[in-house]
Amino acid sequence: MKFVDEAYIDIAAGDGGNGCVSFRHEKYKEFGGPNGGDGGRGGHVFAVADPNLNTLVDYRYSRRHEAKRGEHGMGSDMFGAAGDDITLKMPVGTIITDAQTGQVLYELLTPGECITIAKGGDGGFGNLRFKSAINRAPRQKTPGWPGERKSLKLELKVLADVGLLGMPNAGKSTFIAAVSNARPKIADYPFTTLHPNLGVVRVGPEQSFVVADIPGLIEGASEGAGLGHQFLRHLQRTRLLLHIVDLAPFDEAVDPVAQAKAIVGELKKYDAQLYDKPRWLVLNKLDMVPAEERAAKVKDFVKRFKWKGPVFEISALTREGCEPLIKAIYQHVHDLQQAEHGVVEVDPRFVDDAPQ
């Protein structure tokens, strides 16, 4: 299935039915009085977060969505029936904005969450509503109110705890395949990842986190160069960024430090808040560096990159160093989740000096 993370739709809630002017006409009932009923409410338009969807492709070619209008009121005190509602299923993580103003209207963040994105119009009043002691034969009625009409932009931001950041061919796809259940396309050319891949990393029973493999960034990505700029927004909801660096590029003229600095620069240009997110440095492809040269090469990179945060040395291909990294990520995500609920606790299984 083609990954679609943007779509534009037009929605229209149903108009309310008109009220009715009617009088009772029965034999031997000289003064039957008014009996015109109200019109029915127009149908609403709902949006529901469906965890089984992961793309907005359903809305790429189906742009117009209309709910039914309410029925008109009728005589004999009969009110019109309400119009049928419609429900639009969208992936979890969808942001709904006004296509004209750009204002964010709704966000679907919880599976099963249901919101009203367009309200149906109320039904009009029949002449039964206007009967009074001084107006016993009213001939007034009101038309139904129109339903809401909106032009909306749907934007999908994948919900992941950890986002992978790096140049094309840095080994992100290999890493996500090594640690999760995701099976992205892997090859020895740069742009193998053409859309985000989500993988669930299982650390233990009922212990997991979600990692997102984003297409690689290149210099100038914040201005639209390359593929990664289309998906940078998917990193905005992550709790942690892993900056994966190819420590042994095929081209010896390529400087990994310069590439890493370019990525950080593009991140800062794109979004300052994204730049300020917790970020760990992951030096990949150590299997391609001779064992006796690894320590010196890592030390030289960290020094030239002027990095003061956490550093992990791995080989995604052989899975060397992946397990300590996974445990550290889980503990970090776990701590953030607990802090959000006002509780901070450490899982003893992931503390090296904890008693067994």
Domain ranges for the chain: 1-156, 162-350
Q: 317 pLDDT exceeds 50?
A: yes
Average pLDDT, the chain: 80
Tokens in use for 136? 């016993």
Segment 129-158 mean pLDDT: 90
Burial pattern 115-148, b for ≥16 Cβ within 10 A else e, equals eebbbbbbbbbbbbbbeeeeeeebeebbbbbbbb
Q: 3 pLDDT exceeds 70?
A: no
Distance between CA atoms of 176 and 162, rounded to whole angstroms? 11
* pTM of the predicted model as reported, rounded to 2 decimal places: 0.65
Q: 284 falls in which pLDDT band (50, 70, 90)?
A: confident
Tokens in use for 270? 């794109």
Annotated binding site: 166-173, 191-195, 213-216, 284-287, 315-317
CA distance to 92, 141, 201, 215, 325, per residue, from 183 (Å): 21, 63, 12, 15, 20
So what's the architecture of 1-156 in CATH?
Answer: Distorted Sandwich (2.70)
Q: 266 falls in which pLDDT band (50, 70, 90)?
A: confident
Annotated binding site for GTP: 166-173, 191-195, 213-216, 284-287, 315-317
Q: What is the CA radius of gyration of the chain?
A: 30
Q: Are 268 and 229 in contact (CB under 8 A)?
A: no
The verdict on domain 162-350 having CATH code 3.20.20.220 is no
The pLDDT, as a whole number, for residue 165 is 83
The pLDDT, as a whole number, for residue 342 is 55
Distance between CA atoms of 59 and 156, rounded to whole angstroms? 12
Distance between CA atoms of 341 and 343, rounded to whole angstroms? 6
Q: State the virtual CA torsion across 70, 74, 77, 80 in degrees, nearest 10.
A: -10
Segment 48-75 mean pLDDT: 88
Segment 298-309 mean pLDDT: 88
pLDDT in tens, 179-235: 876 554 444 444 444 456 777 788 877 777 888 777 655 444 444 444 444 556 667
The pLDDT, as a whole number, for residue 234 is 67
Segment 164-186 mean pLDDT: 72
Segment 238-256 mean pLDDT: 82
Q: Is 29 exposed, middle or buried (0-12, 13-18, 19+ CB in 10 A)?
A: exposed
pLDDT in tens, 106-137: 989 888 899 999 999 999 999 988 998 888 88
Annotated binding site for Mg(2+): 173, 193
